[in-house]
Structure 1
Amino acid sequence: MSKVKYYYDPESLSYRKVERKKRRTFKYVMVFLMAAALFGFFANFIIGQYIESPKEKALKRELQNMKFQYEILNKKMDEAEAVLANVADRDNNIYRVYFEANPIPEAQRKAGFGGINRYKDLEGYDNSKLIIESNKRIDILQKQIVVQSKSLDEIAALAEEKEKLLAAIPAIQPVSNEDLTRMASGYGMRTDPFTKARKMHWGMDFTAPRGTPVYASGDGKVVRADSRASGYGKHIRIDHGFGYTSLYAHLFKYNVRKNQKVKRGDLIGFVGSTGRSEAPHLHYEIFKDGKRINPVNFYYGSLTAEEFSKMLEHASLENQSLD
């Protein structure tokens, strides 16, 4: 029960009861509530600044862990970028050079992303900068990996073609040295055995006894095995692909037929003296894109350096050919 208050009225010379007005009471109540609210606000602010709640502590630990994980992620990206840079360097300066492919420009390898802001949804957070930069690095790294992957696919295809080329290109002597009597005549201007006039000799003549084995100088398909070409007698032509064709003339007999596929070193026929020939020998020619070229450059697969030097010396002599 609230106390009753009185005041002295000098006019009536008596004590009168103090009557509290409702308006003043309301004012006091509002002042009290405002003061209480201000006190609560400041108290909460001070407590919030210096005293962490369990939830705030958990969130703070989670944030610190997230920053730590991003630091680890960035270190891993540094390592991945270093490895990828090494692969790109070898790709441009070794693989693509060896397979005669143009290097990939640095601008293409490290190109960013144009157009609209890809990271707009990541803006507006306390750690937006860290998150956006990490996402940018990951996106660029992924793009570089895609570029490098496509490059290696191209190199693999080129390597497969190179392997086929190396297997197909004429690379061995069609008559083995053990069976060879001598290398009679080379590519170039030679004396015709019948007319004694100087004319172009388009191949190489290997003197050997009749019936000496003749071998395919590279992988390919037999496109001719007949005697319908003037002067060649019984002869074989092998299409090696990549623009290369080899011809084996003046044969005694065949060991293959038309359209048959052969491998380097396969026995395809035997030395003879058919057609326009003075004595048993093999006349050997190589064509590249339909043009005759010097066969002397295509024996790296069967001759030593000494044997090749000796052959080169004999092939350069301007003697009489055998056909």
Structure 2
Amino acid sequence: MSTSTSEIPVGHVTDVASIRALETAYQEIHGLEVSVTAGTWSNEAIQPPPSGKTAYRFVVSSEKAHLRLKSGDGVRGGIGEAYEDVDPHPARISPGAEEVWPGDALISNEKLGSLDLSGSGVYFEVITVSTDYPAPKLSLLRNLSDHPGGCAPYYGAFRRETIPPAPTASGDPIGSNRVNEHTLDMRIDRQPPPTRHHHGTVTGADGRVYNHTETAVVLPRSVYGRPPVGDGGAGHAVIYRDPLNKGTGDSFTVPLTPGSIVVTPSTTERLYGHCFENAFAMLVAIPGFVVPYELIPE
């Protein structure tokens, strides 16, 4: 059975009321350790980091936007003579600026410093606890390599990780960062097609059970020259209400446009699954893509 109603957190980056509802939903799922918001910047903007936490800002749209960088700033996807090839991220040799595109990730905390931005942009942001993860200041989606898999296993899926999972030396399943993101083009006219799957809660080394969310933030496919979907229809998410007991038998659809936000929660009380069809989107996972997903049977 499929309906067109939605019972999970959904919103749009330009819809203030829906963003407020998302902020509340995230706190109910993840507690006070995690908060989200959406916002904009324009002209010259120096935005300080959150006190004692790390902010992961995922860009949805931008115009003539640049991030000013200092010597030593790490840039995942940084290439060219301006960078020194060091571990874990290329580092700026001298001060400069990089153009900011939709799909890029900007990270700030007290160690990385403020975000010194110009131009304008719209973003979705996750703020969570700071860890020992050596985060880059900027992750440039356009320069990252493709790794098909997960929601889009076909060759050429544009699956690129701006914030990949970072294992800990101790093997804690939670990982050393608490936010992961990859962008990919999920379309039904390619083989293999998008996968129907679900995640679950994550148990840390300390025995604590963490609720899991996977949040899709839809991008305009024209920015990266992604092929149109043709006769495949408008993008949408198929959400499965009870994948463990009902498989694909109980679902509803959520229509998608650039800027749409759809949260698939997996908590100790309720677990949902999903399949994205004809959607080019950033997928943001908390506490990360740290355990294997499970396929949903017919």
TM bin, normalised by shorter chain, reads: under 0.3
Higher CA-based Rg? 1
Structure in which a larger fraction of residues adopt strand: 2
TM-score when normalising by structure 1: 0.20
TM-score by length of 2: 0.22
Tell me which protein shows more helix as a share of its residues.
1
